[in-house]
Structure 1
Amino acid sequence: MTHPDRRTLLKAAATAPLGGLPWRGARAQGASSPANTIRLGVPVDLSGMYRDVTGQVSVAAVRQAIQDFGPRGFNVEVLAADHQNKPDVGVSIARQWFDREGVDCLVDVATSSVALAVNDLVREKNKVHLNSSAASSDLTGRNCSPNMVHWTYDTWMLANSVGGATVRAGGDTWFFITADYAFGHALERDTTGFIRAAGGKVLGGVRTPFPGTQDFSSFLLQAQASNAKVIGLANAGTDTTNCIKQAAEFGLARRGVKLASLLLFITEVHSLGLRTAQGLIVTESFYWDLNDRTRAFTARLRGQVGPTPGIASTHAGTYAGTLHYLKAVQDMGVAAAKASGTEAVARMKALPCDDDAFGPGSIRADGRKLHPAYLFEVKRPEESRGPFDYYKLLQTTPAEEAFRPLAQGGCALVRA
């Protein structure tokens, strides 16, 4: 197992003013003492294929939540680290943070394999896990925990929205190109269920090594040879953009083959450009231009990060989860929140959610945060009014329908 040293663990804190963000209010006498300090750890991808949808912008989103929360009489400190999308590295970082650095809560985490590995440690240490970027629906299913809240999206939601809509539009035969780790497996599994329920068929699939695959040409040729109408991309980040670019080079669209990108972020649309991405169907739970509140949140976060490939839904989920956790800490008291992550998460579930990124919402018994899901189509270049004006709304799925029904997940926290 790789054991990152302290320099690695704190590398993000060394490159940005992240550590020691004090917020001192009228009741903050002695606020710098450890007993009155909440420490947040942000283990994300700072250098790999998911750096644009997590990375430094996720760390900045945590800072923005602290700033928007305002002075409440206790101190908040932040550590960040690059887990390199490796479960063993992620667990080592989390263990050192819990045992040596006094971290109370992990935020974002990113990458399903890392999130699933860290989840058991968080429960063992009775800390809090606020997940935004990892997508596996198993986090609120068979691997659910009383110490975890899953924000933003999951594989069931993505499959429900994109998979069902594509089959209903005539794409009734599929071939999957799947990233070979927990996220890809879960996304393929969940989407297959919706395809079959809608009367479609899966003709085959291939699993691509993760991380490290850059050339998808042989996999795309296998998909084309299957004669499937739809190639389902059960991957994310640069894997997805490389697939889309290489499919365009092969002219698959001209041959009548449709790409179904099951998880595509605005950062990837920005990278691809509208000429390549136009017409793609995207499911999101956050878009910067939805309403006045989302625009205001985006403007504040952009003020911190400057030019970026975009503010993704994962960044919004990191912000919203952090903000709601701090509200729970204030409500129950710092000492109680530090003493029990289980009780802190229970308080989060008891409090109604409301923030500028997602609006009103709630957290279910299995840890699933509920909010609407939006099905978008990527605009044509001539339809866009300017930078990041990329989506047009096709349909909205209400919060109570967007995610897997509570009774179907197999979560042990759900009483029959």
Structure 2
Amino acid sequence: MTPEDAGAYALLMLCVTFVSAVGDVALRQSGPRLSRIQGGWRYLRLTSGVIAVAQVALVGAFSLTAIEMGWITERQGMLLAPLAVAVAPAALAVPGLVARQVAGDWHYISKLQAGAALVSLVVALPLIPKFGILACAVQSLVADGIIAWALRRSRHLEDSRSNKPLTKSYVIPTAVSGSLGWAQGQVEKASVAIFAGTAALGLFSIAYALGRTVLEAVAAGLVNVARARFALTDEPRLRRAELLRLVKYAILVGLVVQVVTLAIALPTLPRFFGAEWQPMFSLVPLLSGASVAVSCAWVLSAVIIDEARARRLVPYQFVGIALGFIAGATAAFSLSLAAALMVGKELLALGFRARIVAHLITRRTLLLLALGNAFSVAVGGVGFFLSGGRVS
């Protein structure tokens, strides 16, 4: 696999993550609260099917457009074709996943996700030497397919008596926020491709995956817990206590994953990647400096969505989009500076979310957020200098 192939994969993933953010992710984020509203369960079942079809069509159309415009080659497009199919099971799994979350069946969810990840890796790893990026696409399809199949018969209890406009109050604001969140998280990759080329995008994307993929997978499980817990109570005192507890877990998760990732990545990366990947080695620890910020921001986002405050995120997300574009453009001159700016953007994103739910943040919670993020940034800085501290 070459940096150009990695760049083609990253480019198609921009589309996949966008349609997912406004589709199945938005529905999944609203799911626990929707399940308590009259008609919410039927709404989840119907909407997930519509979203599945729409996502496959959109990703397929983007892939054909990318080939026609010369952004990726026909060979790369064929190898990445499974990504267009993988978005369907991701959407179809939402109702079953929500049912398990509301039932508190976290052991089953964790076991299923871990098993799906393991099987997908066993299937995909043998494909890497000969087919490269096809392995990444197959891994996504297999993992999402296993989860959707296993959850297909999960059912939810009867709807509650409460009644709210589902689409207007929850799904549309969450989808809008999700699309802007996607832009905030991905626009720097697009600007890296524009200003520094697909090879630089490939370097950055692999570094991002190494530094953040495990963190985001673990943090996603914590967010699932947060959605279900906050959907169960509206009493402010209990919600403050629950938020403090979840912030503690988020900080612990962020730091543990960051340290373990760096301990494994720093000594092993040079053994598996050739000289053309050299600039990537110092990007991994730099990007890991946002580990605590990302895990805590995800938890706060779950609270914001549960309180139907997603609209208040919009102005802050436009600021994040602008900062992401600036950071990506900086990659034309220095990948390390671009990575540092992206860490700063994640810290600002956390601060914006904390302001929206300030009524639930105690002094102790605020102190933990400050200390946890300061330590995470310091660990990333130390890792950067240990890796050589020179990225051009």
TM-score surpassing 0.5? no
More strand by share: 1
Q: TM-score, normalised by structure 1?
A: 0.26
More helix by share: 2
Q: TM-score, normalised by structure 2?
A: 0.27
